[in-house]
Amino acid sequence: MNIIAVDWGKNTLKRSAYLAELATRAISRLEFDGSLAHLVEYASTLEPPVLIGIDAAIGFPRSAWPKLVGNEADPLLTFVDYLLHAQLPDHFFDPVQEPDEWSPRRPFIRPPPGPWSLTAFIEASNQGLYRQIDQLLKGNPIFVTSGIPGSVGSGTRALWQELIALDARSAFRVWPFHGSLDRLLQAGKLVIAEMYPKACYGIALAGSLPSPLLSLAKTRQSAREDGIRQLQQASWVATQNISIQNSEHAISNEDDFDALISAAALLRLFLEKAPRECLEPADLTVEGGVLGSASISPAERKIPRSRPSGPCGKLGYSQSAADEPT
């Protein structure tokens, strides 16, 4: 089996990918042009099965789903079926700037320059900016394309558009919408799935599983150096005779850092036969899931009663704040 972990974003030049091979226990950097099409083309040359974990949302908030597809939609319709095979609403991918413009049929948000309130968008969406897994893993809203540190909407938007373009040319499956991970991999399918580096940090670096959610100051080279050193010295890496290559790239930039750590985390899940599917309860057909979320410590799996105020709430952000994730 082969695992590819991709640090994703709007800018293809900043995307990074690492390959983890179960047979050889080796993790190495991949050279690719940044596009999903090129990545899938390369993956098709590997011995199946192949799992591609991508750091971008694949799913839609359940609370907003009925207004996207209509109340009379087939109850068996999945988000990926809708994305790839339905007629998307006009302007679906065109971001809105004001809360009263937001709709599940036009969900992406590009805030105007200057101060703005995320709370106003959350209220206008009737909590439709978050999936349950985003709350469980303390992630940012999946539709906000800029204006908050670590915004993920631009990467989400780019991935969905590239999945649509890829669907006509390549055979692939998307977990969990097309079935359980084990069943898809046992069938030798090329599987695309969502991952989350913040969850992967703990899985890769913890002494044992399940692991805590771990935050790393990855923008600092010293923190990246420390994280790679912890990985190289981890007991599971020694026990499993893991070979970690190209770590100098991961130390030099945070995109490679996230991709390498994530590849190691996903490799560990398979080597240790740890839970890889979803936290329960989960809406697998609409909201999807995040690889390895079931290997996060139970103490971390609490959904907050409401989103916090402060940076992600009432205080708002300026457009000059950080843009898409790196």
Q: What is the mean pLDDT of residues 269-291?
A: 86
Mean pLDDT to the nearest integer, 79-96: 96
* Residue of 306, 149, 116 lying closest to 218 (CA atoms): 149
Outline where 49-173 has alpha helix (H): 65-69, 79-85, 118-124, 132-136, 153-167
> Burial of 272 by CB count in 10 Å (0-12 exposed, 13-18 middle, 19+ buried)?
middle
Average pLDDT along the chain: 89
pLDDT band (50, 70, 90) for residue 313: very low
Q: What is the CA radius of gyration of the chain?
A: 19
For residue 48, the model assigns a pLDDT of 95
pLDDT of residue 280: 56
pLDDT band at 112 (very low <50, low <70, confident <90, very high): confident
Q: How confident is the model at residue 324 (pLDDT cuts 50, 70, 90)?
A: very low
**Mean pLDDT score, 262-281:** 88
How many angstroms separate the CA atoms of 221 and 247, rounded? Answer: 12
Domain locations in the chain? 2-58+162-295, 62-155
Residues 181-204 have a mean pLDDT of: 95
Which sign, positive or negative, has the C-alpha torsion 266, 133, 81, 163? negative
3-state secondary structure of 148: coil
Band of residue 311 on the pLDDT scale cut at 50, 70, 90: very low
Mean pLDDT of 37-53: 96
pLDDT tens digits for 237-265?
A: 999 999 999 999 999 999 999 999 999 99
3-state secondary structure of 151: coil
pTM (2 d.p.): 0.90
Question: Is pLDDT of 294 > 80?
Answer: yes
| Residue-wise pLDDT tens digits, 195-221 | 999 999 999 999 999 999 998 999 999
pLDDT band at 151 (very low <50, low <70, confident <90, very high): very high
DSSP string, 179-245: S-HHHHHHTT-EEEEE--HHHHHHHHHSSSSSB------TTSHHHHHHHHHHHHH-HHHHHTT-EE-
Q: Using 50, 70 and 90 to split pLDDT, how confident is the model at 315?
A: very low
Cα–Cα nearest to 1, from 289, 267, 222, 200: 267
- Whether the predicted pLDDT of 281 surpasses 50: yes
